[in-house]
Structure 1
Amino acid sequence: MKRHLFFITALLGMAKVHAQGNYDISRIPAELTKDASVVIRDEEQIYEVKSPSSATLTYKTAVTILNQNGEKASNMYEFYDNFSSISNLKACLYNDKGIKIKEYKSADFKDKSAVPEGTLYQDDRVKFLEFLHTGYPYTIEYSYVVDYRGIRSYPTWYPARSWGYAIEKSDFIFRIPEGMTFKYLKHKNVKTDSLKVKDKMEYKWGCRNVPALEFEPMSTGLKNVMPWVNVAPNQFEYDNSKANIEDWTNFGNWMYGLSNGLQVLPETAKTKILALVKDAKTDQEKIGILYNYLQSNTRYVGVQLGIGGYKPIAAEKVYAVNYSDCKGLSNFMKALLEVAGIKSNLVVIGNDMPSLNKSFASMGQANHMILCVPLEKDTIWLECTSQRTPIGFIGNGNSNRTVLLVTEKGGKLVQTPTYEPASNYQKRNTKVNFDEEGSADISIETRYGNAQYEDNMAMLFADPSLQRKRIMNTLSIPNMQINTLSYTQPDKKSPVLNEKINLKSTQLLANGGDKLFVTLNLLNRQESSLTALENRKTSFNIAYGYCDEDEIIYTLPKGYKVEFMPKDILIESEFGKYTAKVTLKDNTVVYTRTKTMISREYPPEKYNDYVAFSKKMFQADKQKGILAKVE
């Protein structure tokens, strides 16, 4: 009897373990659920290179979604094109006990075009499965195989793709024929294992039990604290094109070969171009005329078919149809300049991406092309996709970047212009006239330069109702009524925007007995929403360096005088400088404020110093003056 009872008990225990399954959330270590919305339970990515033009990716993962914040991690999206195919799509859904509640087959996966808006030609598609399960927590497991018939790059391994991702287990296995070479970068704490398997070399990277990281403001990213590996080919074949990209010189050679000979224009075009520049006295004038011609006669559309994702459309084709992508328009501008006798170079750049890694040449670091025109005493950089960008202004997302200049001698790494804080300015002059009742007529004139021009440029072309709505939402003036509002760009060649606003307010002054209180910084106050962090993990930065200058002239209401005004304020740190002062002139109070911020990457241990600096400016911006009745 005892034997039978023991046997039955053992069977029940085994059944319970089996029913709970490997994905029971109780099996997740407690330290992995802290600050986590997603836990990568078991991930394996195997990429096997067969030749410079073919490879296979075998991928499987199990992801536990702990709460609504992690919902997006449950959806599977895998992209493909004419040079790749996806097969063996499978997925399973498990409840919080790890019990399978639904199984998906290939027919359950959807397939649609992955062409973004503004793209005319592109063959990208996506297979996807969106899970509609609302009972948290749950686990989704899926797998697939991708076969590549053309290679441009190798995959990255980055299991913690966002804040709130914990990793229980993740592995990346990379196999390559023994005779082929490649390169890789990795996080300093990730170990590399390698061994020879038959005629291939196998490399393996992995991680176990990596806790999630809670969101950190102003972060430059998770890559300095979370595991990752970037792998890139030295040789590849794609769409009948062969490339050697062991270094940036070779990369540039390949890009030059793709564009060489594509700057030929028909004779009618050459005649028109020469007529346009015949009266220009300098190369700078010619460049300005031809850049204006480009902006007035072409528009941007995306073209990403095969090698067309890297090879520009011929200049004569762009001349005929008047549209192209960044490569085609930059190449077309290069052709226009050639007719005028001016040499230029195509530039490979990562727009809104970090600088190119000088010692690691790879495809995935760039997403854009512009044009560089080297002159004897100056260099002009041209953003050729915009019909509105001033000549020479390439935008904050392209500034201070290491980029690749494509020359007949190969690629050359160079630096784009840096927009210093003084050039990214906001200069504002405001006049506030109080009447006897304390109501105010307010006139505001502001000039925005470079990066701040870019931030506000859309207002030039916005509908007046949208302009008013934005002003109502951004200016912190109580009970305001906008009378007039206008935006102008005095010189199309200069990244400067003028803003003029005239409005009324009846609540600028606060009453306190027989006193009136006025907050001196009316328009541009520091927002103090940052909180100190005890153990910050990631570096941080300021989006861009800038300088704000404000002058506000208050004309006092009749019958009042100044009783109190705050002393001058100076706040300095490695992050920037702040000044504020008040001067009295007859019946006016003149408040001036400057704020200069310095943009660079700061280490995590500096963050609380930055928070303290911000709080000091926040307090300074709350300074009030007191007015008293004249006796």
Structure 2
Amino acid sequence: MMKQPFLLIVSLLALSRVNAQEIYDVSKIPAELLKNASVVIRNEEQVYEVKNPGTAVLTYKTAITILNKNGESASNMHEFYDKFSGISSLKATLYNDKGIKIKDYKSSDFKDRSAVSDGTLYQDDRVKYLDFMYTDYPYTIAYSYTVDYSGIRSYPTWYPASNWGYAVEQSNYIFRIPETMTFKYLKSKNVKTDSIKIKDKIQYQWSCKNVPALEYEPMSMGLKNVMPWVSVAPNQFEFDNSKANIETWASLGSWLFNLSSGMQVLPEGAKTKIQGLLKTAKDPKEKIRILYNYLQSNTRYVGVQLGIGGYKPIAAEKVAAVNYGDCKGLSNYMKAMLQEAGIKSDLVILGNDMPSINKQYASMNQTNHMILCVPLEKDTVWLECTSQLMPAGFIGNSNSNRTVLLITENGGKLVQTPVYDPASNYQKRSTKVNLDEEGSALVSIETQYANAQYEDNVAMLLIDPTAQRKRIMNSLSIPNMQIGTLSYTQPDKNAAVLNEQIGLKCTQLLTKGGDKLFMTLNLLNRQETAVTALEDRKTFFSIDYSFNDEDEIVYTIPKGYKVEFMPKDVLIESEFGRYTAKVVAKDNTLVYTRTKTMTSKAYPPEKYNDFVAFHKKIYQADKQKGILAKIE
């Protein structure tokens, strides 16, 4: 009597096993998804249900096939949480290339650790994670979990193919919200929005299927113009006993202003110190510099990210007592000191090393940093309060040329940070090369780096001489060189300019050929590599920042030699920049001058091969040689 049900159960189990193999068998992946791919998202679903402004539930599940070692970074599951969220229902399974199950993982297999970042003293973030530790490629991992939120600042984004080499077989984002609440979203052009009312909620859904992977493209500004994505943000939220309306940047700014209100009270000792420091100051700019230098000399950056402390600055009184703070605490402390000096300033939030904030779309996840803006009668001074090196008024390349949010008593106000044009991001170098008839040389190099180029090199002030020499040996393409002298100075603490002085000798600067000496004229600042053209580029591209390089090299011609050949002047111009090079013989010297100006902006994919052609011309011009011949 029991035989038939038993056979039915066995059959169902066998069918289940076959179906699992069918689902995750790597051979079932469409061929077009394997091209350029290291990872294939087989099936992903993210369901986020808003209960009210302060609570929500996220249910997430995914299956990911790791095709090769390049996809190894995708082979771990991790989810962050804090005291306002809790993770449950953790499950994971590992499958081989045939889709056959290798191992099931339980909640107890997942590890749990602090997620405190470097330089952070107080932070309550934690992470649950699982490393599958499997390298028999290809293989598939599947995992799922649920997150319950008891405080909300933002909603999850959806970006299934956010990396090079990621293909997507299928991915869905389902977002549910009470019909009494409002929200906003942005999406890529290639994604359709579906919505339906289910009881007292509105459900939105975005999905994609069969998205091919994209091979790495140099100088890319990201994949967002080609890959599917959705960004969702609340208009109202509740977090850590604070309620906010952030429908607009103005209202978001009002909330942040109220959080910081009353946090600029200084202890009496600090007020006395400030008045003493400013006793001889002649104008507001001098007062700003004096107080900013005091801030740099007496405080250090320490992250503080507890609850609302991720948005609310530490009280100025506290910073004055402990001499540390995060970007919010230090900016607010500087604001308090300026207030004591009778100078008004405004806190500013922005995305450090992120794109400008979207003027039409107010959300918390577009910013990660705070600086200070000091509006004066005829000028505006911007202050990066976490740096102990940057001069007053210089905020660094990762903060410049961005739309940011000024936090004022009248709400948030969108403004632009300073733009550092090519002329201000300069490198000016003067080099003297004393050659002898054997091709050896004594070389003296003096260089000034300003603004963004100062920022790239200012770390040389902080490292020991041995490390300095090692970096120079690796960066200069001079054969058989020995460094004699090396120094770095910042003559004016109030200017973003670094001076570099190098004295060296080398035994093989010129190449001999019979009675001739061959010399590469551009000794120090060559474009060493050519850029490869792409047939069908997909993403926008840009250089890191605009800049201007000026090089002058004076060569002393060896005794017994004369100039036999020098290349003609070079001028290369395009929308990407401008390049000149020329050499002039004067008495017993050759004076080589080179300028290179580059403009940083977003260029569309179709212009990339024009950039490659421009780059190639510079590469070739930088290799030009002159010839010296023996005097008969």
**TM-score normalised over the length of structure 2:** 0.97
RMSD: 1.3
Structure 1: which amino acid aligns with 2:628? L
- 1:559 alignment counterpart: 560
Q: Percent identity?
A: 76
- 2:545 alignment counterpart: 544
Distance in 1, Cα, partners of 2:270 & 2:104: 61
By how many angstroms is 1:534 displaced? 0.5
1:294-373 alignment, distance < 5 Å = 294-373=295-374
Distance in 1, Cα, partners of 2:415 & 2:604: 26
Distance in 2, Cα, partners of 1:152 & 1:529: 46
- 1:421 alignment counterpart: 422
User: Contact 1:434–1:441 (CA<8 Å) still a contact in 2?
Assistant: yes
Distance in 2, Cα, partners of 1:293 & 1:433: 45
Distance in 1, Cα, partners of 2:283 & 2:440: 55
Q: Which runs of 5+ in 2 are unaligned?
A: 1-10
Confirm whether residue 106 of structure 1 aligns to residue 107 of structure 2.
yes
Q: Secondary structure at the match of 2:256?
A: helix
User: Contact 1:38–1:165 (CA<8 Å) still a contact in 2?
Assistant: yes
Distance in 1, Cα, partners of 2:44 & 2:14: 28
User: Contact 1:510–1:517 (CA<8 Å) still a contact in 2?
Assistant: yes
User: Contact 1:52–1:236 (CA<8 Å) still a contact in 2?
Assistant: yes
Distance in 1, Cα, partners of 2:293 & 2:261: 25
User: Contact 2:371–2:385 (CA<8 Å) still a contact in 1?
Assistant: yes
Question: CA distance change for structure 1 residues 14 and 272 in 2, over 3 Å: closer, same or farther?
Answer: closer
Question: CA distance change for structure 1 residues 42 and 626 in 2, over 3 Å: closer, same or farther?
Answer: same
Distance in 1, Cα, partners of 2:13 & 2:366: 55
Distance in 1, Cα, partners of 2:12 & 2:313: 68
Distance in 2, Cα, partners of 1:163 & 1:627: 50
Distance in 1, Cα, partners of 2:16 & 2:451: 68
1:154-553 alignment, distance < 5 Å = 154-553=155-554
Q: Secondary structure at the match of 1:273?
A: helix
Deviations 1:420-447 (A, max 9, x none): 0011011000000012322100000000
1:530-609 alignment, distance < 5 Å = 530-609=531-610
Question: CA distance change for structure 1 residues 373 and 14 in 2, over 3 Å: closer, same or farther?
Answer: closer
1:113-128 alignment, distance < 5 Å = 113-128=114-129
By how many angstroms is 1:17 displaced? 4.1
By how many angstroms is 1:11 displaced? 11
**Which deviates further from its counterpart, 580-589 or 274-283?**
274-283
By how many angstroms is 1:521 displaced? 0.3
- 1:6 alignment counterpart: none
User: Contact 1:539–1:604 (CA<8 Å) still a contact in 2?
Assistant: yes
Distance in 1, Cα, partners of 2:622 & 2:269: 62
Structure 2: which amino acid aligns with 1:619? Q
Q: Which runs of 5+ in 1 are unaligned?
A: 1-9
Distance in 2, Cα, partners of 1:599 & 1:472: 29
By how many angstroms is 1:16 displaced? 8.7
Distance in 2, Cα, partners of 1:19 & 1:262: 58
User: Contact 1:175–1:203 (CA<8 Å) still a contact in 2?
Assistant: yes
By how many angstroms is 1:14 displaced? 6.4
Distance in 1, Cα, partners of 2:437 & 2:574: 42
Distance in 2, Cα, partners of 1:17 & 1:114: 40
Question: CA distance change for structure 1 residues 11 and 323 in 2, over 3 Å: closer, same or farther?
Answer: closer
Deviations 1:128-186 (A, max 9, x none): 00111110000000000000000000000000020000000000000000100000000
Structure 2: which amino acid aligns with 1:120? L
Distance in 1, Cα, partners of 2:288 & 2:14: 81
Question: CA distance change for structure 1 residues 118 and 13 in 2, over 3 Å: closer, same or farther?
Answer: closer
Distance in 2, Cα, partners of 1:219 & 1:424: 22
- 1:131 alignment counterpart: 132
**TM-score normalised over the length of structure 1:** 0.97
* Structure 1 moving runs of 4+ over 6 Å: 10-16
Distance in 2, Cα, partners of 1:555 & 1:456: 29
User: Contact 1:39–1:63 (CA<8 Å) still a contact in 2?
Assistant: yes
Q: Secondary structure at the match of 2:176?
A: strand
Distance in 2, Cα, partners of 1:19 & 1:185: 36
Distance in 2, Cα, partners of 1:123 & 1:258: 20
**Which deviates further from its counterpart, 264-273 or 111-120?**
264-273
User: Contact 1:21–1:99 (CA<8 Å) still a contact in 2?
Assistant: no
1:68-87 alignment, distance < 5 Å = 68-87=69-88
Structure 2: which amino acid aligns with 1:588? T
Structure 1: which amino acid aligns with 2:162? R
Deviations 1:89-112 (A, max 9, x none): 000000000000100000000000
**Which deviates further from its counterpart, 579-588 or 527-536?**
527-536
